[in-house]
Amino acid sequence: MTNANNTPAGRVIMVQGTASHVGKSVLVSALCRIFRQDGLRVAPFKAQNMSNNSYVTPDGGEIGRAQAVQAEAAGVEARVEMNPVLLKPEADSHAQVVLMGRPLTSARARDYFDLKSTLWESVSSSLDTLRSQHDVVVIEGAGSPAEINLKATEIVNMRVALHANAPVLLCGDIDRGGVFASLVGTLQLLDDAERDRVKGLLINKFRGDVSLLTDGLTWLENYTNKPVVGVVHHYRDIHIPEEDSVALDFTPSHMSSPDVLDVAVVQVPHISNFDDFDPLAREPGVALRYVQSGDRLGQPDLVILPGSKTTIPDLLWMERQGLSAAVADVVDNGSAIIGICGGYQMLGRTLLDPDRIESEIGAADGLGLLPLVTTFAGTKETHRVEATVRQEASGRGHLMSGADGETVVGYEIHMGRTTGEGVIPAFTVVDRADAAVTPETAFDGALDASGRVMGTYIHGLFHNAGVRRAILGELARRKGVGLPEGVDVARDREYDRLADWVRGSLRMDLVYDMTGLTPAL
């Protein structure tokens, strides 16, 4: 088999869904790990992703976080070809277009359609490249292939399947209800060539006794003439990062307790990289919750201001929601606060956007908790980062107390430049992967003199166990409670658990028949 460039091409299999958030991303992660377990060279691919949850490749390119997770499951390094087009929403009908890891333009939804021919060239060549270097590429669709208003110009679902001659697994979410209608209706709205690409049906997020589905599954196979490849049970204790902020809507809100650390994340409208906080959610003795109004903030032990794609508009939203005043009050009353990326910028006194990089708002007052000024510039900083905790930032009473010299590995994704005086730099930058460390970039982040207010540009801070446990330990000391022993949040084991869970639910013999592959092990 060869691709469009007449070079040897790996096999493909594609997961499409009847709607968004039916579990496509996690299923692709599972298949990537299953194929890897079976001795195959595997890579993920999604032509176009719409998300503010993004990641930085070793060469400084920006891709969707979901594809980085899938690459990790596959045991390969993330690269821009795995997600050639990334759309980062800035408003309801406006998004930044990132092409092959670099910002291309900011476009309205209607104008974006004019770019499709240019984007398709990168999509098709990226997929061909991945196929030439791997035994199998697991492709993820987006939304539904049956969006009639989008079909003529779409570049992520059936156009990709037809280009790659890919067998498609069509996935429906039974937890939402109406799964049989969703699967049958989607098939009915496809044309003949597209319908022929669907080689199997998959039901996801099932709860209960699968034998109760037998009659329905038999009917579904007879009616559609498509095999049901599997029924995947809903899981609770496997921890894989979610792609969409929709997942935050299902995050339980824990009541604070004298024996539990209460951590509140401000859920701004354009929240980005919310998987930064997954390790906190898994820590025993920590109650992580997301808040959208000042009256829900309470008096947490720690407030977190997350990353934001549009910092100034989200800051103004906080003001309208009563969150700016509430955050100032709880910090005055002893709560600690950490800002990540956009949240770090919000902690300062002033935010300036003279060239209207992020929005049409040229300037805004920050929360004033750190003496910093952020100015947005046209060049986007996207770097893998390795840093160490500075001694001045780890003294007794500071949020990172006792963490002197701890290594922090993460990544930067931001447009702004933040400067100021009278603060303690949090980290010494050791390496920026694709860029030299200069005097201007040798330090990152800031703490105030009290050590209770801290900001950083480094995403992934809490994935570093030494720093995470130091912060939680300091919060526990201030509260006068004991901190339970930490948990191992290494994801590699979680990918194996996910693969075992999904493998046990799928007819893998059919999956291998569809791809024309055989396990290498």
Neighbour-count burial for 6-25, b at 16+ CB within 10 Å, e otherwise: eeebbbbbbbbbbbebbbbb
Long-range contact list for 190-195, CB < 8 A, 24+ apart?
190/145, 190/146, 190/158, 193/162, 194/145, 194/158, 194/161, 194/162
Neighbour-count burial for 248-273, b at 16+ CB within 10 Å, e otherwise: eeebeeeebeeebbbbbbbbbbbbbb
HSE, side-chain direction, 13 A CA sphere, residue 200: 23
Helices (H), 437-480: 465-479
Spatial contact of 357 and 376, defined as CB atoms under 8 Å apart = yes
Q: Is 459 a catalytic residue?
A: yes
For residue 133, give the 3-state DSSP assignment: helix
User: Residue 457's closest CA among 392, 384, 369?
Assistant: 384
Please give the structure tokens belonging to residue 518.
């055989």
Please give the structure tokens belonging to residue 428.
């010494």
User: Residue 318's closest CA among 275, 372, 366?
Assistant: 366
Task: Output the CA angle 341-342-343, nearest 5 degrees.
Answer: 90
Distance between CA atoms of 313 and 436, rounded to whole angstroms? 32
* Catalytic one of 134, 163, 459, 463: 459
* Catalytic one of 341, 383, 414, 463: 341
Distance between CA atoms of 158 and 168, rounded to whole angstroms? 9
Q: Is 341 a catalytic residue?
A: yes
Task: Output the CA angle 263-266-268, nearest 5 degrees.
Answer: 160
Distance between CA atoms of 319 and 297, rounded to whole angstroms? 14
Between the alpha carbon of residue 53 and those of residues 165, 318, 355, 490, the distances in Å are 30, 20, 24, 20
For residue 213, give the 3-state DSSP assignment: helix
Give residue 18's region: left, alpha or beta (phi > 0; psi -120 to 50).
alpha
The percent of the chain in helix, strand and coil, each rounded to the nearest 5, is 35, 30, 35
Bridge-based pairing of strands 443-444 and 427-431 is antiparallel
Side chain identity at residue 190, one-letter code: L
Residues with catalytic function: 341, 459
